[in-house]
Amino acid sequence: MTDTTPLIRIRDLHFRRGERVIFNGVDLDIFPGGITAIMGPSGTGKTTLLQLIGGQLKPTRGTVEVDGQPVHELRRSALYALRRKMGMLFQNGALLTDMNVFENIAYPIREHTELPESMIRTLVLMKLEAVGLRGARALMPNQLSCGMARRVALARGIALDPMIMMYDEPFTGQDPISMGVLVRLIRSLNEAMGLTSIIVSHDIAETCEIADMIYLLAEGRVVAKGSLPELQQHESAWARQFLNGEPDGPVPFHYPAADLAEDLLTMTGT
């Protein structure tokens, strides 16, 4: 990551759902050509951050800029044009179940371009070759293993040669072999296509293996950032608990409750 100008620039980001505060002043930079990991305990808004970057949600306060454009202020046509530069790998793959593998990948190309079918076929086969599944093009989604489905979804995500690729929990539910394949694919595709990648994940070892920068979110803010060695030496108790998998700490083991002795002596209620 040699470019010093962020491709995605987030400043003083506030976001809430009803009374619940999700972000409370997040500052975050994502630089072109690198792989940035967004990590943290469950419920800290990692997927919500991807939705804010993609313009599905608008901040309560603050700015989200992608390629110099304030996403939350764009008109619909400009937002859709920007989204065509973004690829997304959803946690569940989100393949269209009534289309085979080939048609799933061809769908966004047909929707957003006027290319002839011969060129669409070439592009689809090239994307499938990149993820090792050109021979599976006639299979239906229900014939795919979990790992294969995730790779097909990745091929669809890069179908339009995006500028930014976002991964929402890409390693969830994968066996060790499939996980290793995805780790290798994310890194190799990022380098081969000149992508800027954002990974939301709980899988510390796999994500940190390929991430150039890691942001750790907790309590609505960035509590630590840096490379894995830098985070391992970070003074934040949040960073230590998350990276070491400690059962108690800033994220408490016990849900807030009355004193145990007092609770045991209470004769009524639950």
Sketch out the chain's domains with CATH numbers: 1-85+192-270 (3.40.50.300)
> What's 72's DSSP letter?
G
User: What is the rounded distance in angstroms from the CA atom of residue 227 to the CA atom of residue 208?
Assistant: 8
Mean pLDDT to the nearest integer, 213-220: 88
Position 16 pLDDT exceeds 70: yes
Q: How many CA atoms lie within 13 A of 56 on its CB side?
A: 8
SS3 content of the chain, % helix, strand, coil (to 5): 40, 20, 40
Stronger pLDDT, 105 or 17, i.e. the higher one:
105
> What's 192's DSSP letter?
H
Q: What is the pLDDT of residues 70-121, one digit of tens each?
A: 999 999 999 999 998 999 988 777 888 999 999 999 999 998 889 999 999 9
Query: What's the start-to-end Cα distance of the chain, in Å?
Result: 55
pTM of the model: 0.84
Residue with tokens 């929707």: 111
Q: What is the pLDDT of residues 47-56, one digit of tens each?
A: 999 999 999 9
Burial label for 4, CB within 10 Å (0-12, 13-18, 19+), is exposed
pLDDT of residue 1: 44
Mean pLDDT to the nearest integer, 202-223: 86
Position 176 pLDDT exceeds 90: no
Stronger pLDDT, 248 or 26, i.e. the higher one:
26
Mean pLDDT to the nearest integer, 9-18: 92
User: What is the rounded distance in angstroms from the CA atom of residue 87 to the CA atom of residue 159?
Assistant: 8
Stronger pLDDT, 32 or 175, i.e. the higher one:
32
pLDDT of residue 204: 79
80 neighbors 74 (Cβ within 8 angstroms): no
18 neighbors 38 (Cβ within 8 angstroms): no
Question: Residue 129 carries which side chain, given as an amino acid letter?
Answer: E
pLDDT of residue 2: 46
Query: Which residues, in sequence order, are CB contacts of 244 under 8 Å at separation 6+?
Result: none
